[in-house]
């Protein structure tokens, strides 16, 4: 599914030297590399501010805390995402409201969001929409921008899977009022441990986020607001600074790998138009307005679980992102949703399958994957 060593070997010397330099400087907390990484990453994202923090989960929390999303506020998002998109809303004390996904892109559907905004109880104060750029493809930002204007809302990007993705030529991280990135080791831009980044073009939000990540202190031991300890580790920043030099190339290689998959599936006559699979597989839909960086290559397949077992028996890895939509999770039962609330999310959870995808994947490996799937479907 993933072979990290193929990325590490060619850059090993640079990484070790960067870590060594941090050790020599002995500045492990918010050192020089953190500032340099924040500046370089914000510049690549074409946004004024980058604020490093401990994880993508914390970046989501910081985004909402910086924007003063408080108890009594609600935030609208998707149930078809990683856990922390929703848990971070609860962490600032706000109420998560959910809407269904577009079955082609798996991203939050602006039409469902508009309906949810119209249907909400009058007492519910919706402050923000939190779309996720799932699998490395930006959510429909044209439509979300219209909703932002119509309903006077903030837009927050969960860009954890989308470093380098674009919408109408503009990078993820610069689209919303705030955006959250994760550099968890499996992400397309990844650290050697936990790390995250908040980006924003808003000076006030940036200033607030900078103090929130250090216990609300501007001056040491004088606390302006109740913050938290969520700093980006200097060693992780040093690793990320090295990788930042390669990320565009790696994203391009991912796009090439996606093209190889598409050609192989089409060549075998297995690609179907979708959005649901019949006897073949539905390939990822790429919105022409965006630049998909293929953090994951996700197909829809009939008899998905049997296919996955079949692949395991042939030594081929695959993953399910995500097997259970968040509104059906035990811990979120209190949100008031049930089976049937979001049919597209529930159906996607039963049909999606992520195939091996990383920049160094080879043609031969991809041929093996597609041949095995062809054998299963024959
Ligand atoms: C990985 C991920 C997160 C959380 O990031 P961490 O760094 O693991 O805390 C949040 N949202 C999405 C969509 C993710 O994929």
What are the sequence ranges of the domains in the chain? 4-244, 247-377
For ligand 1, whether the C-beta of 132 sits within 6 Å is yes
Alpha carbon separation from 355 to 135, 154, 268 (Å, rounded): 12, 34, 17
Question: 125-130 and 154-158 as β-strands: parallel, antiparallel, unpaired?
Answer: parallel
Please tell me the distance from the alpha carbon of residue 12 to that of residue 14, in angstroms, as a whole number.
6
Please tell me the distance from the alpha carbon of residue 191 to that of residue 4, in angstroms, as a whole number.
11
Summarize pLDDT for 258-293 with one digit per residue, the tens: 999 999 999 999 999 999 999 999 999 999 999 999
Residue to probe by mutation, ligand 1, list 52, 53, 55, 56, most atoms within 8 Å of CB = 56
Question: 271-272 and 222-223 as β-strands: parallel, antiparallel, unpaired?
Answer: unpaired
Query: Which residue puts its alpha carbon closest to atom 2 of ligand 1?
Result: 160
Alpha carbon separation from 118 to 99, 108, 121, 128, 298 (Å, rounded): 12, 16, 9, 14, 32
CA within 13 Å, CB half, 286: 17
- Please name which of 77, 243, 81 lies closest in space to residue 164, comparing C-alpha atoms: 243
Please tell me the distance from the alpha carbon of residue 327 to that of residue 341, in angstroms, as a whole number.
8
Residue to probe by mutation, ligand 1, list 52, 85, 132, 191, most atoms within 8 Å of CB = 85
Taking the centre of ligand 1 as the mean of its atom positions, its distance from the CA of residue 48, in whole angstroms, is 23
Summarize pLDDT for 142-172 with one digit per residue, the tens: 999 999 999 999 999 999 999 999 999 999 9
Summarize pLDDT for 24-81 with one digit per residue, the tens: 999 999 999 999 999 999 999 999 999 999 999 999 999 999 999 999 999 999 999 9
Does the reported pTM lie above 0.95?
yes
Which atom of ligand 1 is found nearest the CA of 81?
Answer: 13
Domains 4-244 and 247-377 share a fold: no
Which CATH architecture is the domain 4-244 placed in? 3-Layer(aba) Sandwich (3.40)
CATH number of 247-377: 3.90.1150.10
């Amino acid at each position: 599914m993933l072979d990290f060593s193929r990325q590490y070997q060619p850059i090993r010397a640079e990484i070790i030297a960067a870590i060594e330099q941090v050790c020599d400087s002995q500045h492990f907390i918010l050192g020089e590399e953190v500032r340099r990484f924040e500046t370089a990453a914000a510049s690549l994202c074409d946004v004024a501010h980058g604020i490093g923090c401990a994880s993508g989960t914390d970046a989501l929390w910081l985004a909402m805390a910086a924007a003063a999303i408080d108890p009594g506020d609600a935030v609208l998002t998707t149930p078809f995402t990683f856990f922390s998109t929703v848990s971070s809303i609860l962490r600032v004390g706000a109420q998560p409201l959910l809407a269904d996904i577009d079955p082609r892109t798996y991203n939050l559907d602006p039409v469902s969001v508009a309906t949810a905004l119209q249907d909400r109880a009058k007492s519910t104060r919706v402050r923000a929409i939190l779309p996720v750029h799932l699998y490395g493809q930006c959510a429909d930002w044209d439509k979300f921008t219209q909703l932002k204007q119509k309903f006077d809302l903030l837009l927050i990007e969960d860009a954890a899977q989308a470093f380098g993705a674009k919408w109408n030529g503009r990078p993820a991280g610069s689209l919303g009022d705030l955006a959250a990135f994760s550099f968890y080791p499996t992400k397309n831009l990844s650290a050697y441990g936990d790390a995250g980044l908040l980006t924003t073009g808003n000076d006030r939000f940036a200033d607030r986020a900078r103090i929130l990540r250090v216990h609300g202190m501007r001056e040491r031991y004088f606390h302006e607001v109740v913050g938290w300890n969520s700093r980006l580790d200097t060693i992780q920043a040093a690793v990320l600074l090295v990788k930042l030099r390669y990320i565009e190339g790696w994203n391009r290689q991912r796009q090439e790998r996606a093209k190889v998959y598409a050609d192989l599936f089409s060549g075998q006559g297995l690609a179907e138009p979708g959005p649901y699979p019949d006897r073949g597989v539905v390939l990822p839909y790429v919105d022409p307005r965006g630049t998909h960086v293929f953090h994951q290559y996700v197909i829809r397949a009939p008899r998905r679980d049997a296919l996955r077992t079949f692949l395991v028996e042939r030594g081929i890895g695959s993953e399910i992102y995500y097997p259970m939509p968040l509104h059906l999770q035990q811990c979120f039962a209190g949100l008031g949703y049930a089976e049937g609330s979001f049919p597209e999310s529930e159906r996607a959870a039963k049909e999606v399958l992520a195939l091996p995808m990383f920049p160094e994947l080879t043609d031969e490996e991809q041929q093996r994957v597609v041949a095995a799937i062809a054998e299963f479907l024959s």
